[in-house]
Protein backbone atom coordinates (compact mmCIF):
# COMPACT_ATOMS: atom_id res chain seq x y z
CA UNK A 1 0.00 0.00 0.00
CA UNK A 2 2.80 2.42 0.92
CA UNK A 3 4.53 1.69 -2.37
CA UNK A 4 1.29 2.33 -4.28
CA UNK A 5 0.78 5.64 -2.50
CA UNK A 6 4.24 6.94 -3.37
CA UNK A 7 4.18 5.46 -6.85
CA UNK A 8 0.97 7.31 -7.63
CA UNK A 9 2.71 10.67 -7.12
CA UNK A 10 5.77 9.55 -9.08
CA UNK A 11 3.58 8.44 -11.98
CA UNK A 12 1.92 11.84 -12.12
CA UNK A 13 5.27 13.65 -12.13
CA UNK A 14 6.54 11.41 -14.94
CA UNK A 15 3.47 12.14 -17.07
CA UNK A 16 1.04 9.28 -16.46
CA UNK A 17 -1.94 10.88 -14.69
CA UNK A 18 -4.46 8.10 -15.31
CA UNK A 19 -2.07 5.48 -13.95
CA UNK A 20 -1.39 7.77 -10.98
CA UNK A 21 -5.09 8.00 -10.11
CA UNK A 22 -5.53 4.23 -10.52
CA UNK A 23 -2.73 3.59 -8.03
CA UNK A 24 -4.22 6.21 -5.70
CA UNK A 25 -7.59 4.46 -5.71
CA UNK A 26 -5.97 1.10 -5.04
CA UNK A 27 -3.87 2.50 -2.20
CA UNK A 28 -6.87 4.00 -0.42
CA UNK A 29 -8.87 0.80 -0.85
CA UNK A 30 -6.04 -1.29 0.61
CA UNK A 31 -5.58 1.12 3.53
CA UNK A 32 -9.28 0.96 4.39
CA UNK A 33 -9.17 -2.84 4.24
CA UNK A 34 -6.21 -2.90 6.66
CA UNK A 35 -8.05 -0.54 9.03
CA UNK A 36 -4.97 0.69 10.90
CA UNK A 37 -4.70 4.41 11.71
CA UNK A 38 -1.08 5.05 10.70
CA UNK A 39 -1.56 3.20 7.43
CA UNK A 40 -4.66 5.25 6.76
CA UNK A 41 -2.95 8.56 7.57
CA UNK A 42 -0.10 7.72 5.23
CA UNK A 43 -2.45 6.81 2.39
CA UNK A 44 -4.77 9.79 2.86
CA UNK A 45 -1.92 12.26 2.59
CA UNK A 46 0.07 10.78 -0.27
CA UNK A 47 -2.95 9.77 -2.33
CA UNK A 48 -4.45 13.26 -2.11
CA UNK A 49 -1.42 14.75 -3.89
CA UNK A 50 -1.85 13.16 -7.33
CA UNK A 51 -5.58 13.84 -7.19
CA UNK A 52 -4.85 17.53 -6.62
CA UNK A 53 -2.20 17.69 -9.30
CA UNK A 54 -4.58 16.04 -11.75
CA UNK A 55 -7.16 18.71 -10.94
CA UNK A 56 -9.52 16.15 -9.41
CA UNK A 57 -10.44 18.38 -6.50
CA UNK A 58 -13.75 16.70 -5.78
CA UNK A 59 -11.89 13.43 -5.15
CA UNK A 60 -9.18 15.11 -3.07
CA UNK A 61 -11.35 17.30 -0.84
CA UNK A 62 -12.92 14.54 1.30
CA UNK A 63 -9.47 13.02 1.77
CA UNK A 64 -8.24 16.36 3.15
CA UNK A 65 -11.06 16.42 5.69
CA UNK A 66 -10.58 12.78 6.66
CA UNK A 67 -6.83 13.30 7.11
CA UNK A 68 -7.32 16.31 9.39
CA UNK A 69 -10.00 14.58 11.49
CA UNK A 70 -8.03 11.35 11.88
CA UNK A 71 -4.76 13.15 12.69
CA UNK A 72 -6.49 15.23 15.35
CA UNK A 73 -8.30 12.26 16.89
CA UNK A 74 -5.04 10.31 17.17
CA UNK A 75 -2.92 13.33 18.23
CA UNK A 76 -0.61 12.40 15.37
CA UNK A 77 2.03 15.12 15.67
CA UNK A 78 3.59 14.35 12.28
CA UNK A 79 0.36 14.20 10.35
CA UNK A 80 -1.54 17.08 11.97
CA UNK A 81 0.62 19.79 10.30
CA UNK A 82 0.32 18.01 6.95
CA UNK A 83 -3.44 18.01 7.40
CA UNK A 84 -3.32 21.73 8.15
CA UNK A 85 -1.34 22.30 4.96
CA UNK A 86 -3.84 20.33 2.91
CA UNK A 87 -6.61 22.39 4.46
CA UNK A 88 -4.70 25.50 3.37
CA UNK A 89 -4.56 24.22 -0.16
CA UNK A 90 -8.29 23.51 -0.09
CA UNK A 91 -8.88 27.13 0.95
CA UNK A 92 -6.60 28.36 -1.84
CA UNK A 93 -8.45 26.27 -4.41
CA UNK A 94 -11.81 27.61 -3.20
CA UNK A 95 -10.69 31.20 -3.77
CA UNK A 96 -9.98 32.13 -0.16
CA UNK A 97 -6.31 33.19 -0.22
CA UNK A 98 -6.40 35.11 3.08
CA UNK A 99 -7.46 32.08 5.11
CA UNK A 100 -5.17 29.89 2.99
CA UNK A 101 -2.18 32.01 3.99
CA UNK A 102 -2.99 31.55 7.68
CA UNK A 103 -3.41 27.79 7.27
CA UNK A 104 -0.18 27.45 5.28
CA UNK A 105 1.80 29.50 7.80
CA UNK A 106 0.40 27.59 10.77
CA UNK A 107 1.02 24.25 9.07
CA UNK A 108 4.57 25.12 8.05
CA UNK A 109 5.40 26.38 11.55
CA UNK A 110 3.96 23.28 13.20
CA UNK A 111 5.79 20.99 10.77
CA UNK A 112 9.09 22.78 11.31
CA UNK A 113 8.56 22.65 15.08
CA UNK A 114 8.80 18.84 15.02
CA UNK A 115 11.97 19.04 12.93
CA UNK A 116 10.40 17.80 9.70
CA UNK A 117 11.17 19.01 6.18
CA UNK A 118 9.98 16.20 3.88
CA UNK A 119 7.47 17.43 1.26
CA UNK A 120 7.60 20.98 2.67
CA UNK A 121 9.19 22.20 -0.55
CA UNK A 122 5.82 22.02 -2.33
CA UNK A 123 4.16 24.26 0.26
CA UNK A 124 6.30 27.37 -0.30
CA UNK A 125 5.11 27.98 -3.89
CA UNK A 126 1.53 27.34 -2.76
CA UNK A 127 1.95 29.96 -0.04
CA UNK A 128 3.66 32.31 -2.51
CA UNK A 129 0.74 32.04 -4.91
CA UNK A 130 -1.75 32.84 -2.15
CA UNK A 131 0.27 35.88 -1.12
CA UNK A 132 0.36 37.04 -4.76
CA UNK A 133 -3.41 36.63 -5.01
CA UNK A 134 -3.66 39.03 -2.08
CA UNK A 135 -1.29 41.49 -3.72
CA UNK A 136 1.37 40.84 -1.06
CA UNK A 137 4.27 40.44 -3.45
CA UNK A 138 7.10 40.99 -0.97
CA UNK A 139 5.77 38.08 1.07
CA UNK A 140 5.31 36.03 -2.12
CA UNK A 141 8.96 36.52 -3.06
CA UNK A 142 10.08 35.64 0.48
CA UNK A 143 8.16 32.38 0.14
CA UNK A 144 9.84 31.63 -3.17
CA UNK A 145 13.24 32.25 -1.57
CA UNK A 146 12.32 29.91 1.27
CA UNK A 147 11.41 27.25 -1.28
CA UNK A 148 14.63 27.56 -3.27
CA UNK A 149 16.69 27.61 -0.06
CA UNK A 150 14.99 24.43 1.14
CA UNK A 151 15.76 22.72 -2.16
CA UNK A 152 19.45 23.51 -1.77
CA UNK A 153 19.68 22.54 1.91
CA UNK A 154 17.69 19.29 1.72
CA UNK A 155 18.27 18.19 -1.87
CA UNK A 156 14.55 17.46 -2.25
CA UNK A 157 14.08 18.42 -5.89
CA UNK A 158 11.01 16.54 -7.10
CA UNK A 159 8.96 19.76 -7.48
CA UNK A 160 11.86 22.17 -8.09
CA UNK A 161 10.48 23.01 -11.53
CA UNK A 162 7.18 24.10 -9.99
CA UNK A 163 8.92 26.47 -7.57
CA UNK A 164 10.60 28.28 -10.47
CA UNK A 165 7.43 28.21 -12.58
CA UNK A 166 5.42 29.86 -9.81
CA UNK A 167 8.20 32.44 -9.45
CA UNK A 168 7.75 33.26 -13.13
CA UNK A 169 4.00 33.59 -12.71
CA UNK A 170 4.51 35.96 -9.77
CA UNK A 171 6.91 38.06 -11.84
CA UNK A 172 4.10 38.52 -14.38
CA UNK A 173 1.43 39.28 -11.75
CA UNK A 174 3.50 41.89 -9.92
CA UNK A 175 2.40 45.55 -10.02
CA UNK A 176 5.23 46.12 -12.50
CA UNK A 177 5.22 42.91 -14.57
CA UNK A 178 8.72 41.78 -15.54
CA UNK A 179 8.56 39.58 -18.64
CA UNK A 180 12.34 39.16 -18.78
CA UNK A 181 12.46 37.92 -15.21
CA UNK A 182 9.48 35.64 -15.82
CA UNK A 183 11.06 34.11 -18.89
CA UNK A 184 14.30 33.45 -17.01
CA UNK A 185 12.38 31.58 -14.31
CA UNK A 186 10.39 29.62 -16.89
CA UNK A 187 13.56 28.67 -18.74
CA UNK A 188 15.13 27.42 -15.54
CA UNK A 189 11.99 25.46 -14.71
CA UNK A 190 11.97 23.89 -18.17
CA UNK A 191 15.61 22.88 -17.85
CA UNK A 192 14.95 21.21 -14.49
CA UNK A 193 11.81 19.40 -15.68
CA UNK A 194 13.57 18.09 -18.79
CA UNK A 195 16.60 16.96 -16.84
CA UNK A 196 14.32 15.06 -14.45
CA UNK A 197 12.11 13.75 -17.30
CA UNK A 198 9.23 15.19 -15.28
CA UNK A 199 6.71 15.54 -18.09
CA UNK A 200 3.84 16.88 -16.01
CA UNK A 201 5.98 19.71 -14.64
CA UNK A 202 7.34 20.33 -18.15
CA UNK A 203 3.79 20.67 -19.48
CA UNK A 204 2.88 23.22 -16.82
CA UNK A 205 5.96 25.30 -17.54
CA UNK A 206 5.40 25.07 -21.29
CA UNK A 207 1.87 26.40 -20.83
CA UNK A 208 3.15 29.30 -18.71
CA UNK A 209 5.87 30.15 -21.22
CA UNK A 210 3.49 29.79 -24.16
CA UNK A 211 1.08 32.26 -22.57
CA UNK A 212 3.92 34.73 -22.03
CA UNK A 213 5.02 34.43 -25.67
CA UNK A 214 1.43 34.62 -26.91
CA UNK A 215 1.02 37.92 -25.11
CA UNK A 216 4.22 39.13 -26.74
CA UNK A 217 2.91 38.23 -30.19
CA UNK A 218 5.17 35.16 -30.51
CA UNK A 219 2.37 32.75 -31.32
CA UNK A 220 4.41 30.45 -33.55
CA UNK A 221 7.22 30.13 -31.01
CA UNK A 222 4.63 29.43 -28.31
CA UNK A 223 3.05 26.66 -30.37
CA UNK A 224 6.41 25.15 -31.27
CA UNK A 225 7.23 24.92 -27.57
CA UNK A 226 3.92 23.58 -26.29
CA UNK A 227 2.75 21.25 -29.08
CA UNK A 228 5.50 18.61 -28.73
CA UNK A 229 5.15 18.48 -24.95
CA UNK A 230 1.38 18.06 -25.20
CA UNK A 231 1.84 15.52 -28.00
CA UNK A 232 4.03 13.33 -25.80
CA UNK A 233 1.09 12.46 -23.51
CA UNK A 234 -0.90 9.30 -24.15
CA UNK A 235 -3.38 9.53 -21.26
CA UNK A 236 -4.97 11.93 -18.80
CA UNK A 237 -6.66 14.13 -21.37
CA UNK A 238 -9.51 14.87 -18.95
CA UNK A 239 -7.11 16.30 -16.36
CA UNK A 240 -6.87 20.04 -15.82
CA UNK A 241 -3.33 20.65 -17.10
CA UNK A 242 -3.88 18.76 -20.34
CA UNK A 243 -7.24 20.42 -20.97
CA UNK A 244 -5.67 23.86 -20.45
CA UNK A 245 -2.79 22.99 -22.78
CA UNK A 246 -5.17 21.76 -25.48
CA UNK A 247 -7.37 24.84 -25.20
CA UNK A 248 -4.35 27.10 -25.53
CA UNK A 249 -3.12 25.23 -28.60
CA UNK A 250 -6.50 24.99 -30.34
CA UNK A 251 -8.12 28.30 -29.44
CA UNK A 252 -5.22 30.73 -29.24
CA UNK A 253 -2.13 29.33 -30.95
CA UNK A 254 -3.59 27.63 -34.01
CA UNK A 255 -2.56 29.07 -37.35
Task: Read off the pLDDT of residues 220-232 as tens digits, 9 standing for 90 and up.
Answer: 999 999 999 999 9
Question: How far is 49 from 58, CA to CA, in rounded Å?
Answer: 13
Strand, helix or coil for residue 156: coil
Q: What is the pLDDT of residue 178?
A: 97
Is the pLDDT higher at 4 or at 137? Answer: 137
Angstrom CA distances, 243 to 190, 225, 236, 250, stand at 20, 17, 9, 10
pLDDT at 3 over 70: no
Question: How far is 138 from 60, CA to CA, in rounded Å?
Answer: 31
Reported as a pLDDT band with limits 50, 70 and 90, residue 23 is: very high
Q: What is the pLDDT of residue 253?
A: 87
What are 119-161's pLDDT values in tens digits?
A: 999 999 999 999 999 999 999 999 999 999 999 999 999 999 9
Is the pLDDT higher at 89 or at 194? Answer: 194
Instruction: Select from 16, 24, 25 the least CA-distant residue to 235.
Output: 16
Reported as a pLDDT band with limits 50, 70 and 90, residue 255 is: low
Angstrom CA distances, 210 to 45, 242, 244, stand at 32, 14, 12
Q: What is the pLDDT of residue 22?
A: 94
Q: What is the CATH number of domain 1-116?
A: 1.25.40.10
User: Where do the domains of the chain lie?
Assistant: 1-116, 129-194, 198-255
Amino acid sequence: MNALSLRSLALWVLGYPDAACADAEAAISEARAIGQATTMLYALYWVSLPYVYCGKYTAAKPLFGELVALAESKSAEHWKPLGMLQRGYELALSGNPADAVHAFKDGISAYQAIGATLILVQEWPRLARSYADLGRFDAAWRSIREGTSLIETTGERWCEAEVYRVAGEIAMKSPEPDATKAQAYFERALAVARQQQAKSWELRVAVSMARLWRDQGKRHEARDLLAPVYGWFTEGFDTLDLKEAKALLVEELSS
